[in-house]
Amino acid sequence: MFRFPSVLLSRRLHRRELSSSTTSHPPSLPLSHPIYLIWGSNTGVGKTLVSAGIAAAFLLSSPTPSQFHYLKPLQTGFPSDSDSRFVFNKLRQLSLIRNPHIPLSASHRVINVSPAVTASNPLAGEEGVGPPPELLCKTLYAWEEAVSPHLAAEREGLVVKDSAVLETLGECLEDVAECGAGKERSEVLCVVETAGGVASPGPSGSLQCDLYRPFRIPAVLVGDGRLGGISGTISAYESLKLRGYDVVAVVFEDHGLLNEGPLMSYMRNKVPVLVLPPIPKDPLNDLMEWFESSHYIFSNLKEIMLSAYFERIKKLHDMPREARDIIWWPFTQHKLVPDGGVTVIDSRCGENFSIFKVQKTEVIAPQFDACASWWTQGPDAIMQTELAREMGYAAARFGHVMFPENVHEPALNCAELLLQGVGKGWASRTYFSDNGSTAIEIALKMAFRKFSVDHGLIVHCHEDTTNERSTELMVLALQRSYHGDTLGAMEAQAPSSYTGFLQQPWF
């Protein structure tokens, strides 16, 4: 793919892959203004109508000058089908109806297109003017054939890597922050509309719910009000939650089936469920009356989105102080922790924390987990999703069950794998412990017992033990070693600040 204006390139260049120049650098998410991902439980459920409705509620009802950004990372069926152009056109129409004397300043831009689009429509690219615009609509990548992005990318000779999509989207989100510089938080809103359903593939074949996960942008889910839509909406919601997304609202078109009842019951009123009026089916209908009749719903949705954003920002700012007041951290001299020394971890994706930073502006920025979170190397992004899925399955199947004299399939499978792997050739049994420090103590007890039995230092438990010999066993430990913060584990190491009299006055 290439940028407008463009010329036809050779077939050889069309076959190359577009890669990111900074593939190893994960993206940051600016927090200066609210940004939301618009997801659909399926294709054709009205994501673009919802995006346009949110834009209308935000721009056309505000007493102060506002700015709305609409981003469409992936568009197929272009240029005959363009969601960003739809939002651009509908907002201009609505603006003229509501305030004909002051037209809405708007811009529409298409950044990258496939060679097939350029060949059929070489001058397509930008529409509209109006600096500084109130409405900015952008399509990041566009293909001509109206199929899934991964198929369109393959058929039209150019596959876009995940890193390139994230880099381009990250640049657009930085533009949002720059355009909004000097404006109040509530005066700028950005929505990023996905393509198809939650688990629809991106151009590389990665599921979009995985593709956009490094940003972890809060979500609005457009559900399905049709027959079967309850199941599809719940499945989409669970797919997002499984990957760590925050869903602030579910909205869908009313088809007269009262789908909102089961959805609200399932979500236990934790997520607002909004119902839009039926959408006219006549393709000649300009939808102006529908947008007017839906205005109250979209205004409500806008307020939900803004409220969730402000609540998140407040929590991120308050967490360091609240943590210092009520949490005891291990291995920490709390008086030495400076005011800015508490790191707020918003999430994790693969080998990186996503941390809250306040420098010139507020961002959620990636930070490599160099200590591998102390005990074990964290999984990569793909393994993280698989791990969440397997943990969810285990929790749903077993919940919490006691273990002594019981067996279940996961424990037995794990024991067999350990004996066939790290224990091959020397181990015949496995013992499960829930943490490393306790595991050290268990291992010491096992070692003492085995040594004592092998050397005749201990009699059988059914015999008289009154005359049992007392033998002092010792552990060879390395200087500056550390095995955990339980008493037995701390005793199995050289003297240190962790094992002195102030820490263990009873020894």
- The CATH number linked to 183 is 3.40.50.300
Give tens-digit pLDDT for 50-108. 999 999 999 998 778 899 999 999 999 999 999 999 999 999 999 999 888 888 999 99
* pLDDT reported for residue 118: 85
- The tally of CA atoms less than 13 A away on the side-chain side of residue 497 is 3
Closest CA to 364 of 375, 355, 373, 372: 355
In a domain, 406, yes or no: no
Instruction: Kindly state the tokens that stand for 393.
Output: 């399955």
Q: Is 253 helix (H, G, I), strand (E, B) or coil?
A: strand
Number of domains in the chain: 2
Say yes or no: 309 and 441 in one domain. no
Tokens 């940004």, residue located: 35
∠363-149-156 over CA atoms, to 5°? Answer: 125
In a domain, 426, yes or no: no
Say yes or no: 311 and 437 in one domain. no
Cα separations (Å) of 353 from 153, 257, 322, 367, 380? 32, 43, 20, 5, 12
Say yes or no: 124 and 259 in one domain. yes
Give tens-digit pLDDT for 381-391. 899 999 999 99
* pLDDT reported for residue 257: 96
In a domain, 112, yes or no: yes
In a domain, 40, yes or no: yes
In a domain, 184, yes or no: yes
In a domain, 381, yes or no: no
In a domain, 43, yes or no: yes
* pLDDT reported for residue 20: 37
Q: Could you tell me if 459 and 507 are in contact, meaning their C-beta atoms sit under 8 angstroms apart?
A: no
Give tens-digit pLDDT for 156-168. 987 899 999 999 9
Range of the domain at 476: 433-491
Read off the pTM.
0.88
Alpha-carbon distance of 437 to 420, in angstroms, equals 24
Say yes or no: 15 and 156 in one domain. yes
Mean pLDDT of the chain: 88
Largest separation between any pair of C-alpha atoms in the chain: 104
Say yes or no: 310 and 456 in one domain. no
Q: Could you tell me if 45 and 201 are in contact, meaning their C-beta atoms sit under 8 angstroms apart?
A: no
In a domain, 344, yes or no: no
Give tens-digit pLDDT for 257-308. 999 999 999 998 789 999 999 999 998 999 999 999 999 999 999 999 999 9
Alpha-carbon distance of 428 to 61, in angstroms, equals 72
How many CB atoms sit inside 10 A of residue 426's CB? 7
Say yes or no: 119 and 254 in one domain. yes
Q: Could you tell me if 15 and 158 are in contact, meaning their C-beta atoms sit under 8 angstroms apart?
A: yes
Instruction: Kindly state the tokens that stand for 311.
Output: 């609540």
